[in-house]
Amino acid sequence: MDFNLTAEEEAFRQEVRQFLADKLPPAEERGEGFIWEWWKAIREKRWIGFSWPTEVTGGGASIMQQFILKEELLKARAPLLGSDYTGLHWVGPAIIQFGSDEQKAEYISEILDSKSIWCTGYSEPDVGSDLASLQCRAVRDGDEYVVNGQKIWTTLAHLARRIFLMVRTDTKGESKHDGITCLLVPMDTPGIEVRPIKAMTTGGMAHMLNEVFFTDVRVPEKFRLGAEGQGWEIVCSALQSERSGISEVNRHESALDDLIDLARRSQRGGKPAIEDGQVRQTLGSFEARIEAMRLNGMRALTSQLRGDLHPSQASINKLHNCDLLVEMSDLAMQLLGCSAPYVSGSDAVIDGGRWQNGALSWPATVVGGGTPNVQRNIIAERFLGLPKD
């Protein structure tokens, strides 16, 4: 057991720190065009797509290098790595793993150059946690597929240039997991209609979700990712990228600092809330759980380096992540007292309404990518060996 870095790893950390000191201005000095300059600079370093193979102009980095880079960027409060979160996190890795050479050439550099926005067509009106039951239909017609059906809860569909779409190509398979196929479809294809869904969130985040309707949408065969029927495998797979969850941990750590600051400024029973025993207990428990997440991530990283990472390991920290998001934002609302229901738009709201945004925006993370109860099923079945229900 040893938490220290090797000499090469330490040297890489110093390189990153030096780069950040030279190229990353403090948040308040970052002007309008800054983000594009930033993305260009880190793209040149190949730090966008750092884990991706060098053949597709990724960084080809080791697991530890990825971890170090991520940690240093977070510490420096650097902006996101690139514009296309979906592309960078799962569409790109899936294309690298399952795509043809033409597909890699066409899509990967776009993602890395922040020129693309992908959205993900998974959920349907009747298909949520039970994703393998999806019904959106694609029927072969010559060298095209004809897609009919509907997707829902599609984040950023109104801005996306392409959709990573899961469709059913075969209804006669033995298992519902058979017959699912992945198509990479341009959003401007005739027959695609996007309708916005307004979320409960306040402010600029209110429109993230959409419904997407497909009516006789013709998709050339060359837009299929992998083989026909390989869709479920594509959903379940991911390239070996760093899995420590350090980004979530770092976000919680700064949220805890901010909460403590709010508790010092708020009053409870005629004294600062930070002196209240119950508030202190809750803050202490947040600290322990955030640290547990960090250390769980380190253990996972070690397993990954040794090549024996449990495929469902991420479910453990996902549950912590969900609990912390909900509970921390709720403590903030409690600290605000009777001003908690105010939202931005008047001077009455504290801190411009950021706490209210937090108290309403957690479902995007907590429900997205598998609800907590789905994670509990995964843990019970795959770690504890309990029978499937």
Min dist CB 254 to other proteins, Å, is: 14
Asked if 11 interacts with other proteins (CB under 8 A), we say no
Encoded amino acid at 114, one letter: S
The residue annotated as part of the active site, out of 71, 242, 248, 253, is 242
- Rule CB under 8 A: which of 252-271 touch other proteins? 260
Min dist CB 269 to other proteins, Å, is: 17
Min dist CB 271 to other proteins, Å, is: 14
Candidates 313, 300, 100; CA nearest to 220 is 100
CA distances from 127 to 292, 340, 374 (A): 33, 35, 14
Number of Cα atoms under 13 Å in the Cβ half of residue 287: 10
Asked if 4 interacts with other proteins (CB under 8 A), we say yes
Two tokens, residue 61: 């980095």
Cβ closer to other proteins: 181 or 315? Answer: 315
The C-alpha torsion from 322 through 323 and 324 to 330, rounded to 10°, is 110
DSSP letter string, 176-225? TTTTEEEEEEETTSTTEEEEEE--S--GGGG--EEEEEEEEEEEEGGGEE
Asked if 67 interacts with other proteins (CB under 8 A), we say yes
Site map (CB under 8 A) of other proteins, residues 124-143, x = contact: --------------------
Cβ closer to other proteins: 23 or 264? Answer: 264
CA distance 31 to 35: 8
Residue 32 among the catalytic residues:
no
Min dist CB 193 to other proteins, Å, is: 37
CB 79 within 8 A of CB 38: yes
Binding residues vs other proteins (CB under 8 A): 1-5, 9, 64, 67, 260, 274, 277, 280-281, 283-285, 287-289, 291-293, 295-296, 298-299, 301-303, 305-306, 316, 319-320, 373, 375-377, 379-381, 383-389
